[in-house]
Amino acid sequence: MHRFLLILFISYNILVAQKGVITGRIIEEDSQPVVGANIIITGTSFGAASDDKGRYEIRGVPYGKYTLEVSCVGYEKVSKKITIDKEISQINFILRESAVETEQILVTASKFEQRKEDLSVSAFVIKPDLISHKNYIAFDEILRDIPGVQVNLEQVSIRGSSGYSKGVGARVLVAINGIPLYGGDNGDIVWELIPISDIERVEVIKGPASSLYGTSAIGGVINIITKEAAQIPVTYIKSYAGFYDNPSYDIWKWNDNLRTFYGTEVSHSSSIGSVGYTLSLKKFDNMSYRQNDYRKNYLGYFKINKTIDANRSILLFGNYLYMDRGNFLYWKDSRNALVPKDEDNGNTVKSNRFFSGFVYNNRFSDNLNSTFKLSYYYTRFDGYGIEVTTSIANLYRAEAIFNYSTNGNFNHTGGIEISGSTVKSNIFSNTKFGGGALYFQTEYRGVKNLIATLGLRYDYIKLDTIKGKNAITPRFGLNYKITGNLILRASAGAGFRAPTPAEVFTTAGIAGGIDVEQNPDLKSETSFSFESGLIYSPSEHLNFDATFYQTDYNNFIEPNLTKTGDIKFINLTKARIQGAEILCAWAAVPSTFNLTFAYNYMWARDVEKNRPMKYRPRNTVNLQIGYTKQPFELNADFRYSSKVEEIDFELTEPPLALIKDGYKRVPVYVIDLAGGVNFVFSNIAAKLKLSVKNLLNYNYVEFIGNLAPIRNYSLSAEIYF
């Protein structure tokens, strides 16, 4: 009897011992915890939920083989096949945000939170997972993969709003947390100033947005929303190195050394009580594939956010960028496509930039909210060539925004904005620039399934000694939900852009023996635009967005070549841009295989001269394919632009012919590939990524006499701990 009891006791203990515990963490790609994720062992009753630090624990699991599945609202579902054969098994998961979301929240279109499907204008949201696909070094590289967005060299255009205007006078307002990021002298955007690693999402509003954002938004808005500070300490380290392949033709090879680029970034984010902070340092160098086109960059970034109470919060952030670079604008000729013109070889530019923003939010009640914004932007650049050129600018800006909702039917947005800049330069007169604006917009939801928007903005702009300008820009929009998965939208509005000090007063050489001539008679440009479109979602994983658009410009500002061979900014009497765009996003195999396709047809015309507008392709195509099977991911991007019809022929043809072979241009076909592996070890999230850009080593130009990047390879490593 005792022997029987002993055998029974031993058997019982063996059975008990053959049960284990599954534990681990559920985190996002940036190592932040995912709270409330459901973890289940499929086909059983075992399961758990992640806590506020992303941890979970499942006890009493019999030894064996199982499938562990994790799901959470807003994230792609993930599953792993596991074997439980020991007492404690640690299984970690990295969740990615859903590729297709039906209820994305945007703040840019109306300066308050709205669902994307409630907008009356076209919008596109760039999510962090798209940014993580490739080794993007500067923000403008991301924009090249966005439907309806074109980048000529470093100048961005939405639906043809800009061609190429020598790096001045942006027509797309780029902002960080709603604060504009344009310089006080030439109104340009320096993409290296944007901290890519701290981007939560990017909201792209396509088409004029002057009724809320004023002069620089005549072509649209790109608003970069930064991340919330981490609740638990997170340190992020990224390092990458890459090199350019040999050029397609031996005659182009001007240097036998391997042309490399590399960079390192260290960022730390955490919270102390109600105060969150993020600190970042980044160094990124590029030897370039072209002669005298090197770049050495240093970026420092800080952000502090404080929650005062449930209704009040403060955000303070700042960026400092130092750049030392060569100056390559035009090639010597097509046989020396990677060598600058003789007179430009050796020219360099050094610059210092500091941008800071302050945002104070105060929610007075459930119906009334206010936001107060301050910003300061200091820029200095020194160009070294035949002569030394210098420009120092200080730009100050303040804005107060109020949102008030009544009876659930009306939502009112109003604000006041003032800005001013001082410029000290030897390439244009020391100028002062200032202005103020008032705006108001109301949204009405009193009719079932219909949202109507009406807005109006008044601007006053004063540029130094030139007489002040007044502008009134109204806007009207409609959004109608025919069914739960079919939405129609339409909008119409005016746009306005005042010339920048650089466009009016510049008197200096730029490159290639070309000088810029001032034009104090330059007028502000205005526009009137219309768009209509629809969103159709036949299923949760398939979405179509189609738009027709038209914009008419008066006094459109473009650089023009004078009879003496100089550049002068002038007003085109009338210009018109018409087009149609279709976008399809399809999660063919949810959480595994995603596809995005976009096609844009654009007809851009100088009405007075009846000829195409410069540097605007008629047809563009974007195709993105993503495959994810944890821990691996593979992404392919393809973009096509038809051959541009109109360029600065005056620069390429006799009698001037300043840019030899500058007329050479082709359609653009670019394929980029990237593959990566994600893994977690000891609660540290890591990713290794290999990128190949311009896989086919296809030779093309975005601007005359300026060969775009040739094939290049890079390997990057990222860790979060």
On average, the pLDDT of the chain sits at: 87
- The band of 100, judged by pLDDT with boundaries at 50, 70 and 90, is low
Residue 546 has pLDDT above 60, yes or no: yes
Euclidean distance between CA atoms 20 and 211, whole angstroms: 62
Residue 434 has pLDDT above 80, yes or no: yes
**pLDDT at residue 10 in the model:** 47
Q: Quick one: average pLDDT of 296-300?
A: 96
Q: How many CB atoms lie within 10 A of CB 692?
A: 19
Measured between alpha carbons, how far apart are the two ends of the chain, in Å? 58
What percent of the chain is modeled with pLDDT above 90?
46
Mean pLDDT check: name the lowest of 186-190, 282-286, 611-615, 672-676. 186-190
Q: Which residue has the tokens 């808005």?
A: 221
Q: Give the tens place of pLDDT for each residue, 556-569.
A: 887 777 666 667 78
What tokens appear for 380 in the block? Answer: 């200095």
- The band of 296, judged by pLDDT with boundaries at 50, 70 and 90, is very high
- The band of 103, judged by pLDDT with boundaries at 50, 70 and 90, is low
Q: Give the tens place of pLDDT for each residue, 691-713.
A: 999 999 999 999 899 999 999 99
C-alpha 509 chain-centroid distance: 31
**pLDDT at residue 249 in the model:** 94
Length in residues, the chain: 721
What tokens appear for 210 in the block? Answer: 């002057």
- The band of 9, judged by pLDDT with boundaries at 50, 70 and 90, is very low
Mean pLDDT check: name the lowest of 88-102, 200-214, 367-381. 88-102
Helices (H), 450-564: 501-505
Q: Quick one: average pLDDT of 382-393?
A: 80
Higher pLDDT, 113 or 481: 481
Report the phi/psi class of residue 62: left, alpha or beta, with left for phi > 0 and alpha for psi in -120 to 50. Answer: beta
Q: Quick one: average pLDDT of 439-446?
A: 93
Q: For 414-435, give the secondary structure using H, E and C.
A: EEEEEEEEEEEECCCCCCEEEE
Euclidean distance between CA atoms 586 and 539, whole angstroms: 10
Euclidean distance between CA atoms 266 and 666, whole angstroms: 40
Residue 21 has pLDDT above 60, yes or no: yes
**Single pTM value for the model:** 0.87
Containing 211, the helix (H) or strand (E) segment is: helix 210-213
Containing 671, the helix (H) or strand (E) segment is: strand 668-681
Euclidean distance between CA atoms 534 and 429, whole angstroms: 49
Mean pLDDT check: name the lowest of 183-187, 206-210, 423-427, 438-442. 183-187
Residue 8's SS3 state is: helix
Helix, strand, coil shares of the chain, percent, nearest 5, are: 10, 60, 35
**pLDDT at residue 302 in the model:** 96
Q: Quick one: average pLDDT of 59-85?
A: 82
Residue 92 has pLDDT above 90, yes or no: no
Residues 6+ apart with CB under 8 A from 624: 130, 145, 594, 595, 596, 597, 635, 636, 637, 638
Q: Give the tens place of pLDDT for each residue, 499-526.
A: 877 777 766 655 555 667 777 788 888 8
Q: Quick one: average pLDDT of 532-557?
A: 92
Let me know how many helices (H) and strands (E) the chain has, helices first.
6, 46
**pLDDT at residue 637 in the model:** 94
What tokens appear for 617 in the block? Answer: 């392709």
Task: Spell 180-205 as b/e; 16+ CB within 10 A means b.
Answer: bbbbbbbbbbbbbbbbbbbbebbbbb
Q: Give the tens place of pLDDT for each residue, 168-184.
A: 667 888 999 999 998 88
DSSP for 434-471 reads EEEEEEEEEEE--STTEEEEEEEEEEEEEETTSPPEEE
The CA-based dihedral angle spanning residues 215, 218, 220, 226, taken in that order and rounded to the nearest 10 degrees: -10
Q: 409, 442 in Cβ contact below 8 A?
A: no
**pLDDT at residue 590 in the model:** 82
Euclidean distance between CA atoms 440 and 415, whole angstroms: 7
In this structure, is the dihedral angle defined by the CA atoms of residues 43, 44, 50 and 54, taken in order, positive or negative? negative
DSSP for 125-170 reads EE-HHHHTSS---SHHHHHTTSTTEEEETTEEEETTS----TT---
Q: Quick one: average pLDDT of 239-264?
A: 95
| Nearest alpha carbon to residue 227 among 408, 322, 97 | 97
**pLDDT at residue 644 in the model:** 94
Euclidean distance between CA atoms 613 and 644, whole angstroms: 9
Residues 6+ apart with CB under 8 A from 136: 142, 196
Helices (H), 18-161: 128-131, 139-143
Euclidean distance between CA atoms 336 and 249, whole angstroms: 10
**pLDDT at residue 400 in the model:** 96
Q: Give the tens place of pLDDT for each residue, 444-460.
A: 998 999 999 999 999 99
Q: What is the CA radius of gyration of the chain?
A: 28
Q: Give the tens place of pLDDT for each residue, 194-223.
A: 999 899 889 999 888 888 888 888 889 999
